[in-house]
Amino acid sequence: MRADDGEGLLVGYVTGPAAATEATVMALARADAARTVVLVEGVSDQIAVETLAGRRGRDLAAEGIVVLPIGGAHGVARYLRRFGPEGTCARLAGLCDAGEAHIVSRGLAAAGLDPAGFFVCTEDLEDELIRAAGPARVTEVLAAHGDLHAFRTIQRQPAWRGKDEAAQLRRFFGAGAQRKLRYARLLTEAISLDRIPQPLDALLSAV
């Protein structure tokens, strides 16, 4: 990792062991007055959405839009109530992993909300970003940020040797304290705007 990556890439975001909880608290402080609340599972999703917005010249805060990482899909019903018709009456949108789509659907149905504006990633957002960029481009980004050697080490491990490279990359991004967060931004920046993953692209277009 380049020496300036951690501080520079993640400035303004919560990191560390308590990141999931603290990020939710920080976003909630702004969300109660928001016109639109975008519910995402974690901080890496928040980073990707906000990074893409910046690339498109949008200032979400100025537009009254808050991206709220909720610490996993199981808490979605609570936030749908808080910000839906029973709460602040904000416009709601969201992004979730395929494995949690049924939880989000159930929460929307219970709250009587239209699922329009909520989008599902194939597997997860990391999978979407890797496929959109392509493994060759991803390894270029790894090399540029000093992580290619560490990735090659994982590829040589018996459990991962010979596996699909996209699966190896997902495993790599899931390991390490800040790696998933850093590459949520780096990959979103590296993908050309005409190849942005459909769920991420659709979400930002919907708000």
Q: Tell me how far apart the alpha carbons of residues 119 and 109 are, in angstroms, rounded to a whole number.
A: 15
Report residue 176's pLDDT band, with 50, 70 and 90 as the boundaries: confident
**Which residue type is seen at 164?**
D
Report residue 11's pLDDT band, with 50, 70 and 90 as the boundaries: confident
**Residue-averaged pLDDT of the chain:** 92
Report residue 5's pLDDT band, with 50, 70 and 90 as the boundaries: low
**pLDDT tens by residue, 121-146:** 998 999 999 999 999 999 999 999 99
Report residue 14's pLDDT band, with 50, 70 and 90 as the boundaries: confident
| Dihedral pair phi/psi, residue 181, rounded to 5° | -70, -45
Position 1 pLDDT exceeds 80: no
Position 94 pLDDT exceeds 70: yes
Q: What is the rounded average pLDDT of the residues 153-175?
A: 91
This prediction's pTM = 0.92
Please measure the distance between the N-terminal and C-terminal CA atoms of the chain and give it in whole angstroms.
Answer: 34
Predicted confidence at residue 169, as pLDDT, reads 94
Q: Tell me how far apart the alpha carbons of residues 70 and 80 are, in angstroms, rounded to a whole number.
A: 11
Position 172 pLDDT exceeds 90: yes
Position 6 pLDDT exceeds 70: no
Report residue 7's pLDDT band, with 50, 70 and 90 as the boundaries: low
Beta-carbon count within 10 A of 57 CB: 6
Beta-carbon count within 10 A of 94 CB: 28
Beta-carbon count within 10 A of 131 CB: 16
Position 86 pLDDT exceeds 80: yes
Of 137, 138, 136, 118, which Cα lies nearest the Cα of 199?
Answer: 118
Beta-carbon count within 10 A of 68 CB: 23
Predicted confidence at residue 115, as pLDDT, reads 94
Position 3 pLDDT exceeds 80: no
Q: Where are the alpha helices (DSSP H) in the chain?
A: 5-9, 19-31, 43-55, 76-83, 101-111, 125-133, 135-144, 148-156, 165-174, 179-190, 198-206
List the structure tokens of 198: 């459909």
